A and B are shown apart, each in its own frame.
Chain A
Amino acid sequence: MIRRAAFGGVLLALVAVGPAVPVSGAKQTPPATYSDAGIEAQLVRIYAEIEKNRLDAALNLVESLLHQYPNFRLGHLIKGDLLLARARPISTFGNAANAPQDRVADLREEAVARLKAQRQKPAANAVPRYLLQMQPDQKHAVVVDTQKARLYLYENDGGHPRFVADYYISHGKLGAEKMREGDKKTPVGVYHVTTSLPRQKLTDFYGSGAFPINYPNEWDKRQGRNGHGIWLHGTPSDTFSRPPKASDGCVVLANSDLDALAKNLQPGVTPVIISNDIEWLSLDDWQKERAALNQTIDMWRADWESRDTDRFLRHYSKKFQAGKQGFDEFARQKQQVNAGKEWIKVKTGNLSMFRNPGKDELVVVTFEQDYRSNNLSNQMKKRQYWIREDGAWKIIYEGAA
C-alpha cells in the first residue's frame, strides 16, 4: 500500500544517517556491552519493521518496549503513529491532533539521536582524542558528545581508554559552549566530577542523583566564562528521558543510565570531558600524540632541573598567565630563584593529559609534583594548560590543582 510505504518513508527519513565515524581499518573486536542498547536496539528493530512495511510487527515491538519503559514518550509517539496509520493515512512523524509542534520536534530529534547512536557506533579501534592519558587512580573517564546527544564511558585499562558503555543524554536548550550564567548552554571543556548528591537531597526534577562538575575551570575563568551549577543528573519521574536539547546547561541521563554510570564515578577524580562533536583518533595516532606530549613534559621537567632559566622558559607561552602574574614577571621571578639554586630535582607522578575539545589546541595536564632543591622542597598537585603555538607545545597556565 502506498499509504504504508509513505508512512515508512516518513519515519525512515528521520534516520538518513551519514557515514560512520571516520576511522578506517577498524578491526572488529567483540562488541562492547552497550548498557543502554536496550532502547536503541529495539528502536532500530522497530524502524526495520516499518521499512519492511510490517506495521503490525512494529506495533508489537513498540508495545513491548513500552512495557519495559512505560514513560518513554518517544515510544508512545511511534505507537500513536502506528495506530493512526491503521485508521487513516498519515503524512508525517507525530500526527497527533493539536500537537504542540515543538514537542513533536523534540521527540523527532530524540529519535534521530538514538537511531544514529545505534547505527554509527565508534569504530572499535577508535578513541576520543581527548583521553590522552588517564591517571592511574582514575578508574574511568566520561566523554560527552552534545551534538550526538551521547555520553561515552571509558575504563582506564593500564593507561589505555577502553570503551565500556554509552548513553543517550540531553544537554542545554540553547546548545553548548557556555559563556554566561543563564545562557542555557552546556560548557565545553575538561572537567571532573566534584561531589555526589544522592537522590534524597534532591527534588524529583534531578531524578536518581546528581554529580556536579567543576565548571567554570581555570581556563573558563581566564576566558571570562561564568555561571555555575553544571551537573550530570537524572530525569524526573514522569518521563523516561528528555529531548536532546532540554536542560539549562546540565547533562541529563535517564535514571537507570545515571545509576549505572554512578557506580563508576569517583568524586574529585573522574574526568568529564564535554565536547560539541567528539574527535576520534585511531589508536596509532592517539599513541603518537600521547608520546609526543609526554616527551615535551619530560623535557620541561629536565630543563627545570638544569637550572638554565632560558631553556626552562622556552616551554612557556608569551601569553602565559598564572593568577595576576604574566610571562615577564614569571620569568624574572624564575631567574631570581634559580640564581640561588645549587641543584633541583623534579619528579612528576600520577599524571593525566586531557585534550580540551574545541578549536584551540589545548591540553590539560594534571600531576603530583615532587620538587626538591638545596634550599626548598615541596610536594603539590599541579595543573598546567599546554597550548600549541607555532608547532610547539607551550604552557599557557599553571597552578595548584
Chain B
Amino acid sequence: MPLSLPKHLRNSRLPAYLTALVIGFAAPLAHANDLADIQKLIKAGQYSQALDKTDAYIASKPRDAQGRFMKGLILTEMNRPMDAIAVFTKLTEDYPELPEPYNNLAVLYAQQKQYDKARTALEMAIRTHPAYAIAYENLGDVYAKLASQAYDKALQIDSSNATAQGKLSLIRDLISTSARPGSKPVAVSSKPAEPAKAAEPAKEPVKVAAAPPSEPVKPAATVTPVAPPAAMPAKPIDKAAEAEKPAAKPAADTAAVDGEISGTLQAWASAWSRKDVKAYLAFYAPDFQTPNGMPRKAWETERQQRIDKPGKISVSVSDIKVSANGDKATVKFRQDYKSASLNSSAGKTLVMIRIGGKWLIQQERVG
C-alpha cells in the first residue's frame, strides 16, 4: 500500500520545500507594503537590498514574525545557511506554534546533511500542525536520507554518490498569501499545450477572488521552474482529451458539481468550527489517505483531540475551485483558520470522491 502522501506530491529528488509563511498576522497596510517591496526585491534577486530593507522593517517591528521569517528566507537565498538557521531557530523559540520556521529549519539542516536535526525540526512542525503536508513530505525525505546513512553503515557502502543529492527547491514568491507549492503550474510535456492548460485546475492569479472555472488559466509570469509537480497532472490530461470540444453543456454539469462540492466544503468547515468531531469525520472517505500513513483510528483520535481542545475555533473556506472528472474531483480553496492559539490562512487541496451521491474527502493537503 502506498504511503498516505499522494504520489504526485512525492518527489524522488529529496527536495524539501521551504514554505511560505502564510499565517495571517494582520499587519497594518504600511507594513504590508514594505513586505511587498521586499518581496519584489527578492524576486529580482536583489538580496542584499532586500536584506537591508528587511532589517529596517524588523527594527521597527522587532516582534514581527513575517519580517523575521522573510529575513531567514533571504539569508537562505544568499547562501548564508548558518545565519538563516539562527533566524529560524529564534523564530521557533518565539513562535513554537508555527510550523513553517521548523520546516525551513529542517530544510537548512538537511542541506547541511544534519538529518537528525532536520528530523527533529520536522517532527516539531508536525506536532504543531498535524495536517502539515509539506512537513510530512520533507520528513519522508529526511527519513529516507537517515535510512540511507544507516544502510551505509550496515553494508559498508557509500551511497552518497549513487543517489545524487537533490537540489532543494526554494519557493521564491513566498510572502504573498496566494501561492503555495502545490498550486503551481507545471509544464505538461508532450501534450498539446492548449487543452492541457484549459483542463488544469484553475490557478489563482494573485488577489483574484474567483476566476470563472472555464476560463483558460494564465500561469503567473513570475512562477519559478523549480516548483514541485503540480497536483494530479494525470487527471487534467485525461480530462483534456475529453475536453477537446469545450461545450456549454459540460459547463452546466460543472456548475452543478461545483455547487455540491462548495456546499460540502462549507458543511465540513462548519462541523469543524462547531467542534462536531463526528460530523467532521463523516466527511472523510473510507479510504482517506491519512498523514504519513498513520492508522485511521490513530488519525481520528488525533483529530478529535485537536478539534476538541478548549477555545473557539473558526474555520471558513473561500476561493473554491473545483476540477471534477466524473465521481472524482480535485478541489482547491483557501482555508482561514482561527483559534485561541493560531490564525492561519492557507491554500488547501482536497481530492474528493462521490460515493452514494455524497462527496467525501480522499486526500487532504496544504497547498
Q: Taking beta carbons and an 8 Å cutoff, which residues of A are in contact with B?
A: 1-4, 6, 73-77, 79-81, 83-84, 86-89, 94-100, 103-104, 107, 238
Contact = CB atoms under 8 A, between A and B. Distances in A.
Residue picked from A81, A97, A238, most chain B C-beta under 10 Å: A97
A80 B147 contact: yes
Contacts of B147: 79-81, 83-84, 87, 95-96
Which 10 residue pairs of A and B lie closest in terms of their CB atoms, listed nearest first?
A96-B151, A80-B150, A77-B154, A76-B154, A84-B147, A83-B147, A76-B153, A87-B144, A87-B143, A87-B140
A86 B140 contact: yes
Contacts of B140: 86-88
Interface in B109-160: 139-141, 143-144, 146-157, 159
B295 interface: yes
A238 B153 CA distance: 10
B294 A97 contact: no
Nearest to B295: A1
A80 B154 contact: yes
11 contacts: A1-B293, A1-B294, A1-B295, A80-B150, A80-B151, A83-B143, A84-B147, A88-B2, A89-B3, A100-B155, A103-B154
B163 interface: yes
A10 to B, nearest CB: 14
B157 A88 contact: no
Contact of A98 (B10, B156, B159, B292): B159
B252 interface: no
B247 interface: no
A73 B143 contact: no
A26 to B, nearest CB: 36
The A interface, classified by DSSP as helix, strand, loop or mixed, is helix
Nearest to A79: B150
A310 to B, nearest CB: 66
A281 B292 CA distance: 53
Contacts of A87: 3, 140-141, 143-144, 147
B1 interface: yes
B143 A84 contact: yes
Most buried by A among B154, B162, B292, B294: B154
A107 B150 contact: no
A17 to B, nearest CB: 23
B1 A74 contact: no
B157 A107 contact: no
A88 B163 contact: no
Contact of A96 (B2, B139, B157): B157
Contacts of B151: 76-77, 80, 94-97, 99
B293 A3 contact: yes
A95 B152 CA distance: 11
Interface string B157-171: 101001100000000
A95 B293 CA distance: 19
A216 to B, nearest CB: 34
Residue among A2, A76, A83 with the most chain B CB within 10 A? Answer: A83
Nearest to A73: B154
A96 B144 CA distance: 10
A96 B159 contact: yes
A97 B155 contact: no
Nearest to B141: A87
Q: Which of A73, A84, A104 has the most CB of B within 10 A?
A: A84
Given A97-B159, A97-B163, A99-B157, A77 B150 contact: yes
B143 A103 contact: no
A79 B149 CA distance: 10
Given A80-B148, A94-B151, 6 more contacts: A73-B155, A75-B154, A76-B151, A83-B144, A86-B292, A104-B155
Contacts of B163: 97-98
A75 B154 CA distance: 7
A103 B156 contact: yes
B154 A94 contact: yes
Contacts of A94: 151, 154-155
A208 B239 CA distance: 69
A86 B140 CA distance: 6
Contacts of A79: 147, 150, 154
Contacts of B295: 1
A79 B152 CA distance: 11
A351 B148 CA distance: 57
A62 B358 CA distance: 46
Given A83-B143, A97-B148, A89 B155 contact: no
A55 to B, nearest CB: 11
Question: Which of A6, A87, A99, A103 has the most B CB atoms < 10 Å from its CB?
Answer: A87
Contacts of A97: 148, 151, 159, 162-163
B150 A98 contact: no
Contacts of A86: 139-140, 143, 292
A213 to B, nearest CB: 29
Nearest to B298: A1
A86 B144 CA distance: 8
A73 B152 CA distance: 9
Nearest to A53: B295
Nearest to A107: B154
Nearest to B163: A97
A73 B144 contact: no
Contacts of A96: 147-148, 151-152, 154-155, 157, 159
Given A77-B150, A84-B144, A87-B143, A98 B157 contact: yes
Nearest to A70: B153
Nearest to B137: A87
A79 B143 CA distance: 10
